């Protein structure tokens, strides 16, 4: 908004023109700042610790190198065993993500649930990526617990921790980045690295 005021002051404009200029500049800022999709990844509980040998990401700090002592300390803090999803549980996650996107009228570009993590590429208008991620994780957890109940597991023994806290949300601003994230989700992820715009 300060930049808009500077432009307005530097040029002698009528009030009507100043207002039109402000609306145009605000609209352009909004267009340039809003992602067209999100590339969301979350891991299963206990499968990728802070300090992990494979590298890890610290929230708001970016990628980090291995720190074995930190990884050991995190493992000692775990309250349940690590989660490796079965084929059936992976299908539950896939179907839940698809259904939730349908309910929310989000566009699901891709979903791939693996044994120890899940990738989702979505367009979720009027939601930030973290909200979308947290809703997907929450609903998947609920449906996985329903599956445990159907197997006869008593309430007191249901798993509480299915996912690690938070997860990665990468903002995608163009069709090329969305396409790269979709390819990575389905084909390239095991090769390491993503060409999706981060």
Cβ neighbours for 54, distance < 8 A, ≥ 6 positions apart: 48, 66
CA nearest 133: which of 118, 144, 143, 147? Answer: 118
Q: Give whichever of 9-13, 61-65, 86-90 has the largest mean pLDDT.
A: 86-90
Pairwise CA distance, residues 83 & 161, whole Å: 8
CB 140 within 8 A of CB 162: yes
Every domain of the chain and the residues it spans: 1-33, 35-191
Cβ neighbours for 172, distance < 8 A, ≥ 6 positions apart: 35, 36, 37, 38, 39, 121, 178, 181, 196, 197
Mean pLDDT of 177-187: 94
pLDDT for position 148 = 96
CB 21 within 8 A of CB 107: no
pLDDT for position 57 = 78
**What is residue 189's DSSP assignment?**
G
pLDDT for position 193 = 47
CATH H-level superfamily of 35-191 = Transposase IS200-like (3.30.70.1290)
Least confident of 24-33, 56-65, 135-144, 178-187: 24-33
Least confident of 9-23, 112-126, 136-150, 160-174: 9-23
- Reported as a pLDDT band with limits 50, 70 and 90, residue 61 is confident
CA nearest 58: which of 164, 192, 149, 157? Answer: 164
- Reported as a pLDDT band with limits 50, 70 and 90, residue 62 is confident
pLDDT value at 42 more than 60: yes
Pairwise CA distance, residues 22 & 170, whole Å: 30
DSSP letters spanning 24-57: HHHHHHHHHHS-SEEEEEEEBTTSS-TT-TT-EE
pLDDT for position 85 = 97
% the chain with pLDDT above 70? 78
């Amino acid at each position: 908004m300060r930049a808009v005021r500077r432009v307005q002051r530097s040029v002698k404009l009528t009030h009507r023109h100043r207002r039109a200029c402000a609306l145009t500049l605000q609209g352009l800022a909004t267009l340039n700042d809003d992602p067209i999709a999100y590339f969301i990844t979350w891991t299963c509980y206990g499968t990728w610790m802070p300090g992990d040998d494979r590298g890890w990401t610290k929230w708001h700090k970016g990628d980090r190198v291995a720190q074995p002592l930190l990884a050991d300390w995190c493992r000692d803090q775990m309250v349940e065993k690590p989660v490796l999803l079965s084929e059936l549980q992976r299908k539950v996650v896939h179907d839940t993500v698809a259904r939730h996107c349908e309910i929310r009228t989000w566009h699901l570009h891709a979903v791939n649930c693996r044994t120890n993590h899940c990738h989702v590429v979505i367009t979720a208008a009027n939601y930030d990526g973290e909200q979308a991620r947290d809703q997907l994780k929450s609903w998947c957890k609920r449906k996985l617990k329903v599956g445990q109940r159907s197997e006869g597991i008593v309430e007191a023994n249901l798993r509480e921790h299915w996912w690690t806290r938070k997860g990665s949300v990468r903002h995608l601003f163009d069709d090329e980045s969305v396409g790269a994230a979709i390819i990575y989700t389905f084909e390239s992820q095991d090769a390491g690295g993503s060409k999706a715009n981060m």
